[in-house]
Amino acid sequence: MSDIDMIRAARDRIGNNLRRTPLLSAPALDEIAGRRVLLKAECLQITGSFKARGGWSAVSAIVPQIRARGVIAFSSGNHAQGVAHAAREHGVPAVILMPKDAPRAKIDNTRALGAEVVLFDRERDDRDALGAELAERRGLTLIKPFDDALVIAGQGTLGLELAEQAARAGVTEADVLVCCGGGGLTSGVALALEADAPGLRVRTAEPESFDDVARSIAAGEIRRNDRLGGSICDAIVTPQPGNLTFPILNRLCGPGLAVTEEEVLRAMALAFRHLRWVIEPGGAVALAAALFRPRDIVGDAVIVVATGGNVDGALYARALQTLEAPGTAA
Amino acid sequence: MSDIDMIRAARDRIGNNLRRTPLLSAPALDEIAGRRVLLKAECLQITGSFKARGGWSAVSAIVPQIRARGVIAFSSGNHAQGVAHAAREHGVPAVILMPKDAPRAKIDNTRALGAEVVLFDRERDDRDALGAELAERRGLTLIKPFDDALVIAGQGTLGLELAEQAARAGVTEADVLVCCGGGGLTSGVALALEADAPGLRVRTAEPESFDDVARSIAAGEIRRNDRLGGSICDAIVTPQPGNLTFPILNRLCGPGLAVTEEEVLRAMALAFRHLRWVIEPGGAVALAAALFRPRDIVGDAVIVVATGGNVDGALYARALQTLEAPGTAA
């Protein structure tokens, strides 16, 4: 099955079990960006992020007798919730390994979705050994966060929707900015648009100092991040692009963009004011690039994927403080 | 023309100029409420509140030669933006009289929509005289915030959508909680549901100490609020129900509900966490009633209208602090 056929098959399996998120805009954001900005509101997806798509795609594709034993995932956040939701809806157990220091809200939300959360100590425990032991003993199927063809296909369903929605909005040529971690969403969307909207060019958006994907695309080979800790955009900081995702990103995506944390916080606050959606830091990187890197973007319109909305209150409150700062009250 | 025909005519005039907002849910909120909770996400409406509906309905119905001179409205917030948006889209001027001490964000947003904002001093200026003088000199048509048949009809379009969406979700018998100020939205929705979904019973939600509508319905005649200042739910605090709206509310609505400010703040925070929408205090009153007054509500499901999402960052940050408080981290 070709890549696009896998994405269409994932869409068929997802059916009406997840939301078709809207593509929306706000005049005030157009003004700041200096061009039309169309935002795909994936923070309004079930579980609050696009990860519900990949989770559903993967869980729904497992042979029923195997699936009945359950699934397992490693995640401190959105992938955990996506897999937990898909497992619950399929009536099968989910075990999620999360670091002890993961945000309390994400642990609570994952448990609320019915998953068994196994906490590990980042320092003392061997996460992979712990997972392998659990998977083997209980016959659980591992759902990887991005470097998995079924997960990529699931995330690609967002691209199918985007192609239709952009065409209906009269946009057939534009940069599409996607918040990028391991590249599962970005590569899936790029494959979908290659087939259904070839005038839309995908570009990655990342936080500065964690722009492994942009550097990898520029170099034509995989580059790693120097460090992994210390970003507010925790959801999209990964060591390097995946072995499956990188060749797709390298073939289909334009130059990557990187923004500062201050710009991410301001983008979150402007979304609060003008869209009334909650966007998490890792989900606001693409909007920040659209608003604050206008010269690096081509065309009269830009499309932004707002990938998720799971963020702690204290960090969100910090973002809102940027509305008080001079020059940002637009 | 009958009431329901006026609402259907307003829907036809609105067409695709405004958004059909989704009816969504979140399992965590169902759990807190002890029943299924379906939320109409009107905070995602253009201009961030349902007021865009009434504004469009009224502006679009004015005879073109008269409309060309412009419209005028008094408002410190959402009605201002609704009227300004409708006027801009019709290519006519809008003058909005706002108190000098209105939130800066609302003044800025109204100006960004192209309106001429005239600030007045609540203490020194005679607002009505100022407005009458401007209207007469420039031939502006006054758009009242709620006690106007065209405005009520516009707000009622939300009810037409709700009837369809609730039926599709399998809910034909339920309480529908609507955040209520002067009663324009509540009466319009009640009329729409009377025609299209008679099993859905509208009930008003208000802040405690500002529950003039609940008391008026209970008494069968108009009751006033003792005071008007000092509520965080500024958008829905009005002196008393309207002369047009009260008879409709009195005939069609069930007993009103009232909630505390602390409950409103908690509802805003829970919407942040579980829905990823921004709801303003006045727009969260109905959700607060659904979550924290379960014994006062009838049935296995409850429908909540989240009416708006325009709120200052500092007040929103205060709401988010309730997530840290014990017993509210659900």
Question: Based on the structure, what is the number of domains in chain B?
Answer: 2
A278-314 tens-digit pLDDT = 999 999 999 999 999 999 999 999 999 999 999 999 9
- pLDDT above 70 (res A325): no
State how far residue A126 is from chain B, nearest Cα, in angstroms.
30
State how far residue B230 is from chain A, nearest Cα, in angstroms.
23
Contact B113 A317 (CB under 8 A): no
Domain that holds residue B200: 3-50+148-323
For residue B241, what is the enclosing H or E element? none
Higher-confidence residue of A328 and B221: namely B221
Q: Is residue A99 part of a domain?
A: yes
How much of chain A exceeds pLDDT 70, in percent?
A: 98
CATH label of the domain that carries residue B159: 3.40.50.1100
Do B266 and B167 sit in the same domain of this protein? yes
Residues in A whose CB is inside 8 Å of some CB of B read 19, 22, 24, 27-28, 31, 43-44, 48, 104-105, 108-109, 112-113, 269, 272-273, 275-279, 309-310, 313-314, 316-317, 320-321, 323-324, 329-330
Do A73 and A180 sit in the same domain of this protein? no
| Summary count for chain B: helices (H), strands (E) | 14, 10
A70 Cβ contact list (under 8 Å, min separation 6): A87, A92, A93, A94, A95, A138, A139, A140, A141
Q: What is the 3-state secondary structure (H, E, C) of chain A?
A: CCHHHHHHHHHHHHCCCCCCCCEECCHHHHHHHCCEEEEEEHHHCHHHECHHHHHHHHHHHCCHHHHCCCEEEECCCHHHHHHHHHHHHHCCCEEEEEECCCCHHHHHHHHHCCCEEEEECCCCCCHHHHHHHHHHHHCCEECCCCCCHHHHHHHHHHHHHHHHHHHHCCCCCEEEEEECCCCHHHHHHHHHHHHHCCCEEEEEEEECCCCHHHHHHHHCCCCCCCCCCCCCCHHHCCCCCCCCHHHHHHHHCEEEEEECHHHHHHHHHHHHHHCCECCCHHHHHHHHHHHHCHHHCCCCEEEEEECECCCCHHHHHHHHHHHCCCCCCC
Do B17 and B111 sit in the same domain of this protein? no
For residue B211, what is the enclosing H or E element? none
State how far residue A31 is from chain B, nearest Cα, in angstroms.
10
Q: What is the ipTM of this complex?
A: 0.93
Backbone angles phi, psi at B98, to 5 degrees: -125, 145
Average pLDDT over residues A132-152: 95
The identity of residue B220, as a single letter, is G
Instruction: Name the pairing type of β-strands B23-24 and B36-41.
Output: antiparallel
Q: How far apart are CA A14 and CA A157, in angstroms?
A: 9
Q: How far apart are CA A100 and CA A115, in angstroms?
A: 16
Q: Is residue B329 part of a domain?
A: no
Do B103 and B241 sit in the same domain of this protein? no
Q: Is residue A244 part of a domain?
A: yes
State how far residue B307 is from chain A, nearest Cα, in angstroms.
12
Provide the pLDDT for residue A16.
96
Q: Is residue A329 part of a domain?
A: no
Of B43, B313, B323, the CB nearest to A276: B43
- Which residues of chain B are within 8 Å of residue A48 when distances are taken between CB atoms? 276
Single residue among A142, A171, A187 that ends a domain in this structure: A142
Provide the pLDDT for residue B325.
62
A19-65 tens-digit pLDDT = 999 999 999 999 999 999 999 999 999 999 999 999 999 999 999 99
Q: Is residue B29 part of a domain?
A: yes
- Which residues of chain B are within 8 Å of residue A317 when distances are taken between CB atoms? 313, 316-317, 320-321
Provide the pLDDT for residue A32.
96
- Which residues of chain B are within 8 Å of residue A47 when distances are taken between CB atoms? none
- Which residues of chain A are within 8 Å of residue B321 when distances are taken between CB atoms? 313, 317
Provide the pLDDT for residue B328.
43
Q: Is residue A59 part of a domain?
A: yes
Cβ-Cβ pairs closer than 8 A, A with B, add up to 91
Q: Is residue B328 part of a domain?
A: no
Report the 10 Å Cβ neighbour count for A226: 8
Radius of gyration of chain A (CA): 19
A237 Cβ contact list (under 8 Å, min separation 6): A181, A207, A210, A225, A228, A231, A282
Q: What is the pLDDT along chain B (330 residues), one digit of tens a residue?
A: 899 999 999 999 999 999 999 999 999 999 999 999 999 999 999 999 999 999 999 999 999 999 999 999 998 789 999 999 999 999 999 999 998 888 777 888 899 899 999 999 888 888 889 989 999 999 999 999 999 999 999 999 999 999 999 999 999 999 999 999 999 999 999 999 999 999 999 999 999 999 999 999 999 999 999 888 888 988 888 889 999 999 999 999 999 999 999 999 999 999 999 999 999 999 999 999 999 999 999 999 999 999 999 999 999 999 999 997 654 444
Q: Which of B40, B89, B273, B276 to mutate to test the interface with A (most CBs of A within 10 A)?
A: B276
Do A27 and A56 sit in the same domain of this protein? no
- Which residues of chain B are within 8 Å of residue A275 when distances are taken between CB atoms? 44
Average pLDDT over residues A179-185: 96
- pLDDT above 60 (res A327): no
- Which residues of chain B are within 8 Å of residue A103 when distances are taken between CB atoms? none
How does residue A235 score in pLDDT terms, banded at 50, 70 and 90? confident
Do B173 and B29 sit in the same domain of this protein? yes
Do A300 and A152 sit in the same domain of this protein? yes
Q: How far apart are CA B25 and CA A47, in angstroms?
A: 11
How high is the mean pLDDT of chain A?
Answer: 94
Q: Is residue B319 exposed (0-12), middle (13-18) or buried (19+ Cβ within 10 Å)?
A: buried
Contact A31 B320 (CB under 8 A): no
Single residue among B126, B142, B158 that ends a domain in this structure: B142
Do A185 and A213 sit in the same domain of this protein? yes
Do B282 and B156 sit in the same domain of this protein? yes
State how far residue B32 is from chain A, nearest Cα, in angstroms.
12
- A25 → chain B, closest CA residue: B46
Do A28 and A62 sit in the same domain of this protein? no
Residue with tokens 């939205």: B185
- Round to the nearest angstrom and report the end-to-end CA distance of chain B: 48
Of A105, A277, A323, the CB nearest to B313: A323
CB A308 within 8 A of CB A42: yes
Do B57 and B46 sit in the same domain of this protein? no
- pLDDT above 80 (res A328): no
Q: Is residue B228 part of a domain?
A: yes
- pLDDT above 60 (res A326): no
How does residue A329 score in pLDDT terms, banded at 50, 70 and 90? very low
Do B56 and B42 sit in the same domain of this protein? no
Which among B71, B55, B56, B65 is positioned nearest to B12, based on CA atoms? B56
Between the alpha carbon of residue A175 and those of residues A109, A166, A255, B37, B287, the distances in Å are: 34, 11, 10, 38, 39
Average pLDDT over residues A3-23: 97
CB B124 within 8 A of CB B50: no
- pLDDT above 50 (res A330): no
Contact A112 B27 (CB under 8 A): yes
Provide the pLDDT for residue B70.
98
Contact B323 A105 (CB under 8 A): yes
Single residue among A117, A142, A167 that ends a domain in this structure: A142
Provide the pLDDT for residue A39.
98
